[in-house]
Structure 1
Amino acid sequence: MYDIVIVGAGPAGATLARLIGSKYKVLLIDKRDMENENPKKIKNKCCGGLLAPDAQKMIAQLGLGIPKDILVNPQLFAVRTLDLNNNLERLYQRFYFNMDRDKFDQWLISIIPNEVDKRLNAYFKSFTEISGGYEISYIYNGQEILAKTKIIVGADGASSKIRKLIAEDISSPEKYISIQEWYECTEYTPYFTAIFDEEISDFYSWVIPKDNYLLLGSALRPREDTWNKYNLLKAKLIKLGFTFENKFKTEGAYINRPKRGSQLYGGKDNIALVGEAAGAISPSSAEGISYALKSSLYLAQSLEEGIDGFLDRYNQRIKGIRLNLLIKNLKSPAMYNPFLRQLAMKSGLQSIR
């Protein structure tokens, strides 16, 4: 019998397990084998691997420091912004930690207390309500295993199975599919490139240097000629001088984009949602690590006073996240409306010459 079962061991789930693992009996489940020493057997997380200032602030607030072996070259202090609709280009100062995302997740798992039971390379199936809590079912080492728990936490990302099971009548964030390809590259690129093009997506695309690779990614509408639009993006960038040769790998994942405050959902009964499963991710940049860390901290704080009433306390705390998402949505038109973006970029405000 567990106090809490956490489904998902990304930044939200791993951080929550670390914060509550010494007080509660916790089971942590994730489909990735993140403790495997063979990196080829790890199911990669599709992510640009940039730690934004908000996420850096949360790392500091949690009393942590990033080990240097997680960082990769180059460290980035500028964003090259390409507006292909208006044929404009600007360079803006921004501060990102460029990192190996898989190593980052492995590090967060490595600092979880030993008291936490971890089932990595395991697949959550379902849950049923029982007296005193829930019985969950998951697949581990080819076998179906049942476990009883008082609380379930969904930290299972944009395609959260937990959210689907408890929130059929709750508005969900808009879904995009992220496609990202890695290409071998020896040319030095000292900035992160953000690309805006209405013909490709009403969100954005990116090029990120990472050691000896160049990552090309885009957040695209699903089922709207997705691969053709991705290839069109690649063709446009090649005409601008980018080189994409010797492809190393291709990744894909869904991304949530909350457009309304009601799409942030903390959970119900004794089931809570954190991180992107809750809809906590920036609608303007798709930055999610800071929200994952913040929501898991809020849930841990809500559990400090015990299990009774924890969800009410959690919902009170995430009101700040809801307000932040509202502000991000108000900011979005300046980035994603071609006319407003043209005015902002032509002004040269805050750009680097």
Structure 2
Amino acid sequence: MYDITIIGAGPAGANLARLIGDKYKVLLIDKRDLENHNPNQSICKCCGGLLAPDAQKMIAKLGLGIPKDILVNPQLFAVRTIDLNNNLERLYQRFYYNMDREKFDRWMVSLIPNAVDKSFNSLFNGFNKISDGYEIRYIHKGQELRAKTRIIIGADGASSKLRKLISKDVNTPEKYISIQEWYKCTDPMPYYTGVFDEEITDFYSWLIPKDNYIILGSALRPRDNTREKYELLKRKLTRLGFSFDSKVKTEGAFIYRTKKLSQFYLGAEGITLIGEAAGAISPSSAEGISYALKSSLYLAQSLEYGINGYFDRYKNMVKGIKFNLLLKNLKSPAMYNPLIRRLAMKSGFSSIK
């Protein structure tokens, strides 16, 4: 009988397990193997691998320091903004840690206390209510296993099965599909590039250098000719001088875009959501690591006083996240309305000459 079962071992789930693993009997489940490195592992997190300033602040608040072997070249101090709708371009000073996302997740898992039971290569399959909590079902090496737990925590991202099971009457954030392709690049650019083009997507696309590679990614609406839109993006950028000849691999994943506060959903007493599973992700930039770390910290703090009443304490603590999501939504028009974006970029305000 576990006190707490956590579904998902990304930054939200791993951080929660790290913080509560010595206080409670915890089971952590993830479909990836985040302990034993397997170069042939087919499941990977589709992520640009940039640690934004808000996430850096949370890492500092947690008293952690990132090992240097997680970082990749080059470290980034500028964002190149390309507006294809208005035929404009600007460079803005921003500070990002450029990192290997899989190594980052493995590092977070390595910090979890040994007392936590970890079941990797496991797929959460559902749950039943029982008298003293829940019985969860998960598939491990082709076999369905069961475990009893007092509460279940969903940290399984935008494709959260747990959220789907419990939120039938709740608004779901808008879902996008993130497509990334990796290309060999002998002379990587020294900045992160954001690309805006309404013909491609009402969100944005990106180019990120990673050692001897460059990543081209885009957040696209599902079932809206996503592959055709992605190929159109490549053709447009090729005309600007980019080269996409030596493709190494393709990645894809769903991401949330929380445009309404009603889409930010924490679950309930006994079955609770953190990180992107709750809809905690920036609607302007799709940055999610800071929210993952923050929401898992708040839940851990709410559990310091025991399991009874933890959910009300958690709801109270995340009010700051809700307010931040509201501010990000107010910021979005300046980025995604072509007219407002044109005026902002033409002004040159805060840009690097």
Q: Normalising TM by the smaller chain, what interval?
A: over 0.9
Q: Is the 8 A contact 2:333 2:340 kept in 1?
A: yes
| Aligned residue in 2 for 1:141 | 141
Q: What is the identity, as a one-letter code, of the residue corresponding to 1:67?
A: P
Could you give the per-residue CA deviations for residues 7-44 of structure 1, whole angstroms, max 9, x where no partner exists? 00000000000000000000000000111222332621
Q: What is the identity, as a one-letter code, of the residue corresponding to 1:40?
A: N
| Aligned residue in 2 for 1:115 | 115
Segment of structure 1 superposing worse, 29-38 or 63-72? 29-38
| Aligned residue in 2 for 1:295 | 295
Instruction: Name the SS for the 1:74 alignment partner.
Output: coil
| Aligned residue in 2 for 1:350 | 350
Q: What is the identity, as a one-letter code, of the residue corresponding to 1:162?
A: L
Q: Is the 8 A contact 2:59 2:65 kept in 1?
A: yes
CA shift, 1:341, in A, is 0.0
Gaps of 5+ in 1: none
Change (3 A) 1:124 1:90: same
Could you give the per-residue CA deviations for residues 258-304 of structure 1, whole angstroms, max 9, x where no partner exists? 01111111111311100000000000000000000000000000000
Match status 1:249 vs 2:246:
no
Q: What is the identity, as a one-letter code, of the residue corresponding to 2:84?
A: L
Give the whole-Å Cα distance in 1 for the aligned partners of 2:14 and 2:121: 15
CA shift, 1:107, in A, is 0.3
Cα RMSD between the aligned structures?
A: 0.7
Q: With structure 2 as the length reference, what TM-score do the two structures score?
A: 0.99
Alignment of 1:19-34 (within 5 A): 19-34=19-34
Instruction: Name the SS for the 1:9 alignment partner.
Output: coil
Q: Is the 8 A contact 1:33 1:42 kept in 2?
A: no
Q: With structure 1 as the length reference, what TM-score do the two structures score?
A: 0.99
Q: What is the identity, as a one-letter code, of the residue corresponding to 1:196?
A: F
Q: Is the 8 A contact 1:182 1:216 kept in 2?
A: yes
Match status 1:9 vs 2:9:
yes
Give the whole-Å Cα distance in 2 for the aligned partners of 1:270 and 1:23: 17
Give the whole-Å Cα distance in 1 for the aligned partners of 2:265 and 2:346: 38
Q: What is the identity, as a one-letter code, of the residue corresponding to 1:305?
A: Y
Match status 1:229 vs 2:229:
yes
CA shift, 1:245, in A, is 1.4
Alignment of 1:153-232 (within 5 A): 153-232=153-232
Give the whole-Å Cα distance in 2 for the aligned partners of 1:39 and 1:103: 12
Match status 1:102 vs 2:102:
yes
Instruction: Name the SS for the 2:40 alignment partner.
Output: helix
Give the whole-Å Cα distance in 2 for the aligned partners of 1:344 and 1:84: 15
Give the whole-Å Cα distance in 1 for the aligned partners of 2:318 and 2:170: 17
| Aligned residue in 1 for 2:74 | 74
Query: How many percent identity over aligned positions?
Result: 73
Q: Is the 8 A contact 1:36 1:42 kept in 2?
A: no
CA shift, 1:140, in A, is 1.0
Match status 1:240 vs 2:240:
yes
